[in-house]
Amino acid sequence: MYLQYYINDNGDKVYTVKKESPLGKATESAHPARFSPDDKYSRQRVLLKKRFGLLPTQKPAPKNFAFSNISSVLLDEILLRMSDL
């Protein structure tokens, strides 16, 4: 028996050992994939993520980003002074 989960109506994960949710949909495994230090396909995975814009560096900064409360003028001044160093 492996731990499974499904998403309920509120969007919460509900953990179970059953293969189907009460609505009849298939549950998903709650266990992460096995880790291998000899990852043969990491290059292909990174290339696909880059192609479809899924890398964390390709996503916009979150709203609670550290510089969100700083005015753009102040931020420009900070960046200008940092470039002079």
β-strand pairing of 4-7 with 28-29: antiparallel
Kindly report, residue by residue over 50-84, the tens digit of the pLDDT.
999 998 888 887 776 665 556 777 777 777 888 77
Q: Find the domain containing 21 and state its range.
A: 1-33
What pLDDT is stored for residue 7 in this prediction?
94
Mean pLDDT, range 30-34, rounded to an integer: 88
State the CATH number of the domain containing residue 10: 4.10.80.300
What pLDDT is stored for residue 16 in this prediction?
95
**Are 82 and 67 in contact, with CB atoms under 8 Å apart?**
no
Q: What is the pTM of this model?
A: 0.45
**Inside any domain, residue 9:** yes
What pLDDT is stored for residue 67 in this prediction?
59
Count of domains forming the chain: 1
**Inside any domain, residue 7:** yes
